[in-house]
Amino acid sequence: MSRAPITKTGSERLRGELDRLKSVERPKIIAAIAEARAHGDLKENAEYHAAREQQSFTEGRIAELEAALSTAEVIDVSRLNPGNKVVFGATVELEEESGESVTYQIVGDLEADIKMRLIAVSSPIARALIGKSEGDSFEFRAPNGVKRYEITGVSYE
């Protein structure tokens, strides 16, 4: 079985979410279910059904996080030093053809979040970046057409 890579920062963030779900959310949901049960007939009790649905979602997320974190290979990006070559964990500065700059960090699938500029190692752009070096130009096929970029910086933080 191959172990999925995850950055040390991502692992810490996901462990924090797991702790919050177990110590804060789970007790809240249990209290909401108990309160809804006190209202009587459970068949037509919307609060009860909503709380049970929330409990199901939370327990599923807890199980998902526990399984993923137990098998993940945690990589400390700050200890990597492949020079200016792009590998897992790299923070890459790119310049689009239009001159606009964007920065991404290549992370594991579980911790990817485009809003935080964290792209999954399995994403098309990350696959196009892996193995390239600072100063290289590349293109990749995105859903909305071919994109062309130049790598203007590579760092490991």
Mean per-residue pLDDT, 73-101: 84
Q: What is the CATH number of the domain that holds 44?
A: 1.10.287.180
Same domain, 82 and 70: no
Could you tell me the pLDDT band of residue 39, with boundaries at 50, 70 and 90? Answer: confident
Supply the pLDDT for residue 25: 94
Q: What percent of the chain has pLDDT over 90?
A: 36
- Determine the structural domain holding residue 65 and report its residue range: 5-75
Same domain, 105 and 38: no
Contacts of residue 9, defined as CB under 8 A and 6 or more positions apart, other chains included, come to 77
Does residue 3 surpass a pLDDT of 90? no
Whole-structure pTM value: 0.77
Q: Give one word for 80, left, alpha or beta, with left for phi > 0 and alpha for psi -120 to 50.
A: beta
Supply the pLDDT for residue 23: 95
Q: How many domains does the chain have?
A: 2
Q: Which of 103, 110, 111 is nearest to 129 (CA)?
A: 103
Domain limit, last residue, from 75, 105, 123: 75
Same domain, 85 and 30: no
Supply the pLDDT for residue 20: 96
